[in-house]
Amino acid sequence: MNRLSLFCAMLRKDLRLFWPFGALISGLLLLRQFPDVIAQLGVVAALMQIAIQLGVVLLMLVVCYEDAVVSLQHDWLTRPISGVTVLMAKVSFVVLFILVPSIIGALANTLYEGGSLAESLVRGYSQGASGALLLTIAIVMAFASVTTGIRQGIIVFLAGIAVLAIATLLFSLAGGEGESAGATGSNWVQTLPLILLLLAATLLVLWVQYGRRHTRTARIIVAAAVVIGGAYTAFMSWPRVYAVQAMLSPDPASAASAQVELASGCFPVRSLDSAGSRAVLERFSDEQRRLASADAMLFSTQLVRTGVPAGHRVHIGRVSIVYRNPRGEALTLHPGGGPALWTTVDQGLLAASHSWLLSNADYARLAATEGIQTQIQYWLNLLEPRSEARFVADGRRQYYSGIGYCSATHDAALKRVDVDCYKAGFLPAQLMANLEGAPEIDGRLNSYPDYTPKLLNFWGGRRYSMQLPVSSAGTPRIRITAYAAKAHFERQFIVPGVLGGAVSACPIPQA
Amino acid sequence: MIIETENLTKKFRRHDAVEGVNLSVPEGATCALVGANGAGKTTTMRMLVDILAPDRGTARVLGIDSRQLKPQDRLRIGYLTENQTLPERLSVGQYLEYLRALYPNWDHALEKRLRAQFELPTSRPLGKLSHGMRMKAMLIGALSFRPKLLILDEPLSGLDPLVRDEVMAGILDQAGETTILISSHELTEIEGCTSHVAFMVRGRLMFHEPIDTLNARFREVSVTLGQAPVIKGLPATWLNPQVDGLLLRFVDSAFAGDATLQEQARALFGPLQHFATTPLSLREISKALMRATREEN
């Protein structure tokens, strides 16, 4: 009996057992790929999303537990069928009922939205079989292979959540919060190794369990992956994340071509009750405002790009302020470690401002320190234009090399152009849309950049949406620029005093 | 030998489930693995079919190290245990159809005959079958590919006498062409087909031998003595001695003939008023051994 017929027998058995559940999940997954339809469901949509996620996990678990590996009693253990064949059958079932509907759904929705067959196929595989879904499948199957059944699975899962919550709490109590690379574009340094670690661990666990049935080894691998992953997360503070990012600069020497300066003079200061403060203040989190107290002040700093190569942009990944005494020792403020910051989405061109929130008590303490200095550190990224596309905002969708499938629609009533692009694999760091002929500063960026090295960014796809305001009545022409990271570098500025100059020269303005 | 274990050992944490078991089962034999609950029978069987890995020692099944059993080797090994987890929502017919696809050596005629013999409702899901029906379905799944070795772990447990007979008839059908290792507490039922007996106590194999040899060396003995006996210093092979006035009863586990035993008794107690020996069934032998082991503890 060859392996194929054994595989078919096992798959046929699972289909017989689980096709109704599988069909239900498939239908929901298919539907999920139609955001327009989902949006019409209102509140039910959110519940449906949760139900789909739980349903997907549950389907995989019941299919795997049907022929559990951690078992002394399951029928397959003494049948002429290898663990690898069982695994192949389970994977095929999951592909059939989870992956294929997702791919078909994404494909059908693209066709429904007017995309070409080519784009539909690209979006079908890159969106339907996204890295997140593939990783989820691998993790759930590995999880099922080291647990005995649904009950144990739920207990282990809840225990895992509890351990994670405790670890997070301990980590934050130890002062580890605020280190996330978040929207800097470099967060891949934190996440990608974790993803690769998880993927390697899950594949190893599946091989050990289905190939060798060595549960203890498999569980040790799981525990080791969790410990290594946790240690890596704790270890990768922002400076380390950035150090890795900088090490991978494609052209580190080009950083010299970008010149930036801190705007000179005292930092502009406002009290919280001053006009215009309210809007800025709302950008801070409740926690930040609570820490700064009611008598806090707002001040802002500005970085000015004085020399950037033509067409290039300097994007600020992160900025921090540290106050130091004449001995160079950092002065600790509230638990956050420095004044609270609200970052702007920066165009990467002329200048960028940052608003800071500082309590009066902290200010008083700092101002009283003889010879205090303010150290402002910028972590920067030099981006160069790599590809460009120019087209009319007539709604037609086309493929542009290095940018992907793009279209722009002019909405005369709302006086704007909606730009929509989709790129699968080897994604650019950022896209910018602009009206042809308009100054670069008027361009609109897709949300946050992503500096994942090209070779590691081959799977999946990303949708880029940008809105451009237009004043003219005619159909405008659009220019899309795809940027790639060229260099990652740091700049540090040290100014005397607390607010951009000696305390006597830059005091808090009187109300 | 179809089954041959050497120093087979398995521990669960600090508990020695099986310790140093050396068991040989010749081809064509039907070997009853006997012992009290927790004696290590199930663990031994699980190691034979590689469901469990031994901590020490080896088990060879059909000449192959059990740890190296390949799917094709399992075409020749049937295994059945009372608490087997089956695809509960499959009907009997679907289950057998699934199994049929796994075995190129599946005997359709035998399956058909057993289905008719067991009167199984083929369209009913396995999860909705009675315990007896379920055992019959599993038995068809273990017999229909005519395995060279059949390992049956408590196949008769919880069955009513009628079903027990039917299941036994199915097993007996295979005896001869198939080597069978069977563990069961229903010793009366399996005695008829047993050719060898292996007895386990607390993870250890006390003995394994042909049933004829076993039957020959076990006798229930009752002796009426001239005076009330003192039961200290009796031979170790005299199990469970009981005194009731002048009457001494025990089980001799090394019976070598009435004359020899009478001689022994006379040497110990003087003239005997009455002497009688009775052969024991496998069930009685087993009970005597279990009681003796319990008293030793």
Q: What is the pLDDT of residue B128?
A: 94
Average pLDDT, chain A: 88
Q: B40, B21 in Cβ contact below 8 A?
A: yes
Phi, psi of A66 (to 5 degrees): -60, -35
DSSP A331: P
Q: Does A77 touch chain B (CB under 8 A)?
A: yes
Q: What is the pLDDT of residue B190?
A: 83
Q: What is the pLDDT of residue A511?
A: 53
Burial class (CB in 10 A: 0-12, 13-18, 19+), A142: buried
Q: Which of B42, B95, B102, B148 has the highest number of chain A CBs within 10 A, making it the mutation to test binding with A? A: B102
Q: Does A168 touch chain B (CB under 8 A)?
A: no
Structure confidence by residue, pLDDT tens digits, B274-283:
889 999 999 9
Angle at A149 between CA A147 and CA A155, to 5 degrees: 70
Q: What is the pLDDT of residue A175?
A: 53
First to last CA, chain B: 34
Kindly give, in sequence order, each residue whose CB lies less than 8 Å from that of residue A137, ignoring residues fewer than 6 positions away.
A60, A94, A98, A99
Question: For A389-392, which contacts have Cβ atoms below 8 Å and span 24 or more sequence positions?
Answer: A389/A479, A389/A480, A390/A436, A390/A477, A390/A478, A390/A479, A390/A480, A391/A477, A391/A478, A391/A480, A392/A475, A392/A476, A392/A477, A392/A478
Q: A76, A210 in Cβ contact below 8 A?
A: no
Going by pLDDT thresholds of 50, 70 and 90, the confidence category of residue B173 is confident
Beta strands in A226-312 (DSSP E): 259-262, 269-271, 297-307
Residues B174-202, mean pLDDT to the nearest whole number: 86
The pair of three-digit structure tokens given for residue B211, joined into one six-digit string: 């049933």
The Cα-based distances of A279 to A60, A183, A272 in angstroms read 48, 22, 10
Going by pLDDT thresholds of 50, 70 and 90, the confidence category of residue A109 is very high
Contact A13 B52 (CB under 8 A): no
Element (H, E) at A38: helix A35-39
What is the 3 state secondary structure string of A438-495? Answer: CCHHHCEECCCCCCCCHHHCCCCEEEEEEEEECCCCCCCEEEEEEEEEEEEEEEEEEE
Residues B49-66, mean pLDDT to the nearest whole number: 94
For every residue of A127-140, DSSP letters joined together read IIT-HHHHHHHHHH
In whole angstroms, what is the distance from residue B147 CA to residue B181 CA?
A: 12
Residues A411-422, mean pLDDT to the nearest whole number: 92
In whole angstroms, what is the distance from residue B248 CA to residue B224 CA?
A: 6
Interface of A with B in 12-41 (CB under 8 A): 12-13, 16-17
Q: A323, A331 in Cβ contact below 8 A?
A: yes
Q: What is the pLDDT of residue A342?
A: 66
Contacts of A9 in chain B (CB under 8 A): 98, 101-102
Interface of B with A in 32-51 (CB under 8 A): 46, 49, 51
Q: Is the pLDDT of residue A186 over 60?
A: yes
Alpha helices, DSSP H, located in A341-393: 360-367
Angle at B191 between CA B190 and CA B194, to 5 degrees: 85
Q: What is the pLDDT of residue B219?
A: 92
Interface of A with B in 38-67 (CB under 8 A): 66
- Give the residue carrying structure tokens 């010149």: A259
Element (H, E) at A22: helix A3-32
Element (H, E) at A383: strand A373-392
Q: What is the pLDDT of residue A108?
A: 95
Contact B85 A80 (CB under 8 A): no
Residues A425-430, mean pLDDT to the nearest whole number: 91
Contact B87 A17 (CB under 8 A): yes
Q: Does B61 touch chain A (CB under 8 A)?
A: no
The Cα-based distances of B241 to B35, B207, B230, B236, B256 in angstroms read 21, 21, 11, 10, 18
In whole angstroms, what is the distance from residue B50 CA to residue B65 CA?
A: 9
Q: What is the pLDDT of residue A177?
A: 46
Going by pLDDT thresholds of 50, 70 and 90, the confidence category of residue A464 is very high
Q: What is the pLDDT of residue A179?
A: 46
Enter the ipTM: 0.88
Burial class (CB in 10 A: 0-12, 13-18, 19+), A36: exposed
Percent of chain A exceeding pLDDT 90 equals 52
Element (H, E) at B6: strand B3-12
Phi, psi of A131 (to 5 degrees): -60, -40
Residues A261-276, mean pLDDT to the nearest whole number: 85
Q: What is the pLDDT of residue B153?
A: 93
DSSP B144: T
Q: B228, B292 in Cβ contact below 8 A?
A: no
Q: Does B123 touch chain A (CB under 8 A)?
A: no
Phi, psi of B83 (to 5 degrees): -105, 35
Q: B187, B156 in Cβ contact below 8 A?
A: no
Q: Is the pLDDT of residue A180 over 60?
A: no
Going by pLDDT thresholds of 50, 70 and 90, the confidence category of residue A454 is confident
Element (H, E) at B4: strand B3-12
Going by pLDDT thresholds of 50, 70 and 90, the confidence category of residue A40 is confident
Distance from CA of A42 to the nearest CA of B (A): 37
Contacts of A12 in chain B (CB under 8 A): 98, 101
Based on its alpha-carbon atoms, the radius of gyration of chain B, rounded to whole angstroms, reads 22
In whole angstroms, what is the distance from residue A503 CA to residue A47 CA?
A: 56
Q: What is the pLDDT of residue A475?
A: 85
In whole angstroms, what is the distance from residue B205 CA to residue B122 CA?
A: 41
Going by pLDDT thresholds of 50, 70 and 90, the confidence category of residue B273 is confident
Contact A81 B71 (CB under 8 A): yes
In whole angstroms, what is the distance from residue A256 CA to residue B171 CA?
A: 86
In whole angstroms, what is the distance from residue B251 CA to residue B218 CA?
A: 7
pTM: 0.85
Q: Is the pLDDT of residue A456 over 90?
A: no
Interface of B with A in 184-223 (CB under 8 A): none
Q: Is the pLDDT of residue B64 over 90?
A: yes
Q: Is the pLDDT of residue A193 over 90?
A: yes
In whole angstroms, what is the distance from residue B79 CA to residue B98 CA?
A: 16
Contacts of B103 in chain A (CB under 8 A): 1, 80
